[in-house]
């Protein structure tokens, strides 16, 4: 009788345990993972939200002889994570013979430098081509074919329909992840990028005979679900050929599905060995004008085909935008488009220009898990220190500010407590709504009530709302003031306290209280380097 009552309870406990076991078959509380709550995300490292303050190596800088300059750059910029390629051509120089010495070197050196790694699997795709395939594959185009263009000519891009290529990639990536699992017990590697900017330039899809046959066949049932069709702006349909269902987007959607299915299988095989968070990155399209796929790299996870990638490659935790667009309107739109309840925002690459450092703030405001400029090293065997230091300075100063409070920033971002503004090209004032307060941010160098415009739109401000009247604020090249709003509207107010300081072991440590000239012109000014303020407001 007792057993009869116990059984349902045991079943519930068992089901609960099963739910916490990854579908990829491993439970390890400390393994890095991406979690979601109420449509917001966090990357857990050692069990707590982690913010990637990253830097990515140049493409050919992951070789042991090049690593000293990479570590120098990581240190100079106060980065906590190095994104570094691992090369299929180096790891499997002969079919089935693997060399993991590069991974060993990276692990040892990263630990020596107290840094984490994001490994970039440069394999079947690198910027739409197959240039990182091992030589034995490059020499055998019949077995590992390229995409065929509309005119019947091969393009410089691997076909996602090539079974032998998929099998070879699955085998090699599985070997990498199997090796990593036993070589990296401390979880120095926190995430793996599967391929790099996959897709095809110069052809919207593969027009080979076998691909054409698939194209003329039925659209897979997974894509016909009402939610997926709605997300793609396609009217409900019971099915049909790609052309029939997707009209003038059919070629691109077919290629996106094919590339995503391929990469999804590679990622799933790797996760079956060792389920680290995995993602793939996108060469973006213009996010404002819905251009045809002939204008960009077709098949990759561009904003318009994210719903296809989600269905075709569920083993990927996220798809990520590489930000090389210019203009704040475009960049802010991209950040908005990749922050979705079903997609964690992560910027694995951004052009290493001073103007881009400000987007770290927007990423945090969107609950993102990290940011990384591309090409942090000098990309030469020997380089002079000042060259690197100058290029890295705009990022180094932000990372130096953020590093001591990295865990707090990650947690606040996960909880949706961060708001941010970045200076636009018109240098205009911006506001942040904080419930009973509105913050007004003017960009420039402030002195005795006058604001001198910034030469470049590099100003930014981030506000963390700790409670109704208390905020942590950081930023550069701006002046901040507040206005009572909401239930405070119309009331007199003043600063109860404006403290300047820094975070140490999870606690704000004030260096001084700002008052008098430092706050009397409506509020504090933030200079060329970010400072951290704790501000408490009061109504009177
Ligand atoms: C984006 C790619 O993902 C990087 O590997 C690199 O090629 C940059 N473009 C350009 O330098």
* Secondary structure (DSSP) of 277-305: -EEEEEE---TTT---GGGS-BTS--GGG
Residue 493 three-state SS: strand
The rounded mean pLDDT for the chain is 94
Summarised one tens digit per residue, pLDDT across range 415-442 is: 999 999 999 999 999 999 999 999 999 9
The residue written with tokens 């490994």 in the block is: 119
The b-or-e profile of 408-447 (16+ CB within 10 A means b, else e) is bbbbbbbbebbbbbbbeeebeebebebebbbbebbbbbbe
CB 307 within 8 A of CB 231: yes
Give distance in angstroms: CA of 259 to centre of ligand 1.
19
Residue 191 three-state SS: strand
Give distance in angstroms: CA of 416 to centre of ligand 1.
31
Summarised one tens digit per residue, pLDDT across range 83-114 is: 999 999 999 999 999 999 999 999 999 999 99
59 lines ligand 1 (CB under 6 A): yes
349 lines ligand 1 (CB under 6 A): yes
Give CA separation, 279 vs 45, 268, 301, in Å.
16, 11, 11
Q: How many residues belong to the chain? A: 540
CB 320 within 8 A of CB 310: no
Give distance in angstroms: CA of 465 to centre of ligand 1.
36
Indicate which residue's Cα is closest to atom 10 of ligand 1: 374
**CA–CA separation, 58 vs 390, rounded Å?**
17
**Which residues are registered as beta bridge partners of 443?**
478
Ligand 1 atom with the smallest distance to the CA of 120 is 5
Q: If pLDDT is split at 50, 70 and 90, which confidence band does 323 have?
A: very high
Ligand 1: residue of 83, 197, 198 to mutate (most ligand atoms within 8 A of CB) is 197
Residue 492 three-state SS: coil
Give distance in angstroms: CA of 186 to centre of ligand 1.
29
**Is 1 a residue whose pLDDT tops 50?**
no
Give distance in angstroms: CA of 257 to centre of ligand 1.
23
Q: For the chain, give the longest Cα–Cα distance.
A: 82
Ligand 1: residue of 57, 59, 348 to mutate (most ligand atoms within 8 A of CB) is 59
CB 86 within 8 A of CB 122: yes
**CA–CA separation, 507 vs 405, rounded Å?**
9
Ligand 1 atom with the smallest distance to the CA of 196 is 3
No. of helices (H) and no. of strands (E), the chain: 15, 25
**Which residues are registered as beta bridge partners of 85?**
120
**CA–CA separation, 175 vs 181, rounded Å?**
10
What local confidence, expressed as pLDDT, does residue 9 receive? 43
339: its two tokens: 């922050």
pLDDT, mean of residues 15-39: 65
Give distance in angstroms: CA of 300 to centre of ligand 1.
14
Summarised one tens digit per residue, pLDDT across range 485-505 is: 999 999 999 999 999 999 999
First to last CA, the chain: 68
**CA–CA separation, 84 vs 55, rounded Å?**
9
**CA–CA separation, 466 vs 535, rounded Å?**
10
440: its two tokens: 């007004």
Give distance in angstroms: CA of 85 to centre of ligand 1.
11
Indicate which residue's Cα is closest to atom 8 of ligand 1: 374
345: left (phi over 0), alpha (psi -120 to 50) or beta: beta
CB 282 within 8 A of CB 127: no
Give distance in angstroms: CA of 476 to centre of ligand 1.
29
CB 75 within 8 A of CB 37: no
Summarised one tens digit per residue, pLDDT across range 133-164 is: 999 999 999 999 999 999 999 999 999 999 99
**Is 24 a residue whose pLDDT tops 80?**
no
76 lines ligand 1 (CB under 6 A): no
Give distance in angstroms: CA of 347 to centre of ligand 1.
13
Q: If pLDDT is split at 50, 70 and 90, which confidence band does 400 have?
A: very high
The b-or-e profile of 81-116 (16+ CB within 10 A means b, else e) is bbbbbbbbbbbbeeeeebebebbeebbebbeebebb
CA 330 to chain centre: 17
Residue 160 three-state SS: coil
CA 335 to chain centre: 10
208 lines ligand 1 (CB under 6 A): no
Residue 254: which of 286, 288, 285, 213 has the closest Cα? 213
**CA–CA separation, 522 vs 525, rounded Å?**
9
Q: If pLDDT is split at 50, 70 and 90, which confidence band does 382 have?
A: low
Q: Which helix (H) or strand (E) holds 420?
A: strand 418-422
Indicate which residue's Cα is closest to atom 6 of ligand 1: 59
Ligand 1: residue of 302, 374, 375 to mutate (most ligand atoms within 8 A of CB) is 374
Give distance in angstroms: CA of 252 to centre of ligand 1.
22
Ligand 1: residue of 62, 83, 86, 322 to mutate (most ligand atoms within 8 A of CB) is 322
354: its two tokens: 């001073």
488 lines ligand 1 (CB under 6 A): no
Give distance in angstroms: CA of 374 to centre of ligand 1.
7
**Is 7 a residue whose pLDDT tops 80?**
no
**CA–CA separation, 104 vs 193, rounded Å?**
18
**Is 195 a residue whose pLDDT tops 70?**
yes
197 lines ligand 1 (CB under 6 A): yes
Give distance in angstroms: CA of 48 to centre of ligand 1.
30
* Secondary structure (DSSP) of 328-348: HHHHHHHHHHH-BTTB---B-
CB 493 within 8 A of CB 540: yes
User: Within 10 A of 348 (CB to CB), how many other CB atoms are there?
Assistant: 26
């Amino acid at each position: 009788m007792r057993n009869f009552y116990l059984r349902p309870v045991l079943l519930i406990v068992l089901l609960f345990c099963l739910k916490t076991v990854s579908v990829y078959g491993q439970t390890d509380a400390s393994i890095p993972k991406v979690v979601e709550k109420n449509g917001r995300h966090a990357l857990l490292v050692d069990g707590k939200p982690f913010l990637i303050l990253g830097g990515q190596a140049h493409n050919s800088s992951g070789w042991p002889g090049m690593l000293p300059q990479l570590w120098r750059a990581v240190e100079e910029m106060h980065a906590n994570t190095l994104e570094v390629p691992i090369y299929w051509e180096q790891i499997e120089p002969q079919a089935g013979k693997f060399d993991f010495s590069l991974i060993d070197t990276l692990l040892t050196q990263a630990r020596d430098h107290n840094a984490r790694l994001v490994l970039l699997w440069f394999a079947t795709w690198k910027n739409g081509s197959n240039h990182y395939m091992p030589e034995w594959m490059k020499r055998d185009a019949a077995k590992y074919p390229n995409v065929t263009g509309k005119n019947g000519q091969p393009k410089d891009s691997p076909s996602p329909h090539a079974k032998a290529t998929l099998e070879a990639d699955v085998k090699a990536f599985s070997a990498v992840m199997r090796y990593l699992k036993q070589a990296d017990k401390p979880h120095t590697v926190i995430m793996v990028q599967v391929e790099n900017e996959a897709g095809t330039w110069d052809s919207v899809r593969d027009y080979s005979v076998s691909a054409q046959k698939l194209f003329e066949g039925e659209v897979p049932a997974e894509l016909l679900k009402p939610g997926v069709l709605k997300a793609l702006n396609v009217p409900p349909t019971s099915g049909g050929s790609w052309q029939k269902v997707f009209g003038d987007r059919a070629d691109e959607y077919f290629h996106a599905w094919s590339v995503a299915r391929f990469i999804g299988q590679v990622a799933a095989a790797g996760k079956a060995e060792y389920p680290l968070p995995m993602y793939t990155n996108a060469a973006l399209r213009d996010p404002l004008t819905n251009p045809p796929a002939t204008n960009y790299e077709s098949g990759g996870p561009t904003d318009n085909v994210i719903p296809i990638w989600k269905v075709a490659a569920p083993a990927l935790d996220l798809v990520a935008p590489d930000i090389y667009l210019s203009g704040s309107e475009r960049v802010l739109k991209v950040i908005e488009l990749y922050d979705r309840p079903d997609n964690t925002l992560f910027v694995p690459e951004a052009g290493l220009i001073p103007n881009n450092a400000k987007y770290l703030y927007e990423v945090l405001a969107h609950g993102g898990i990290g940011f990384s400029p591309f090409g942090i090293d000098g990309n030469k065997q020997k380089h002079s220190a000042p060259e690197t230091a100058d290029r890295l300075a705009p990022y180094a100063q932000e990372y130096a500010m953020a590093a001591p409070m990295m865990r707090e920033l990650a947690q606040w971002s996960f909880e949706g407590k961060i708001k941010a503004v970045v200076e636009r090209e018109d240098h205009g004032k911006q506001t942040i709504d904080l419930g009973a307060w509105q913050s007004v941010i003017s960009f420039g160098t402030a002195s005795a009530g006058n604001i001198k415009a910034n030469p470049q739109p590099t100003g930014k401000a981030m506000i963390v709302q700790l409670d109704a009247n208390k905020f942590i604020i950081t930023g550069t090249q701006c002046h901040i003031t507040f206005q009572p709003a909401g239930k405070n509207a119309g009331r007199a107010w003043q600063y109860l306290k404006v403290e300047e300081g820094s975070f140490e072991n999870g606690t704000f440590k004030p260096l001084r209280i700002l008052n008098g000239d430092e706050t009397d012109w409506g509020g504090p000014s933030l200079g060329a380097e970010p400072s951290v303020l704790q501000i408490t407001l009061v109504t009177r």
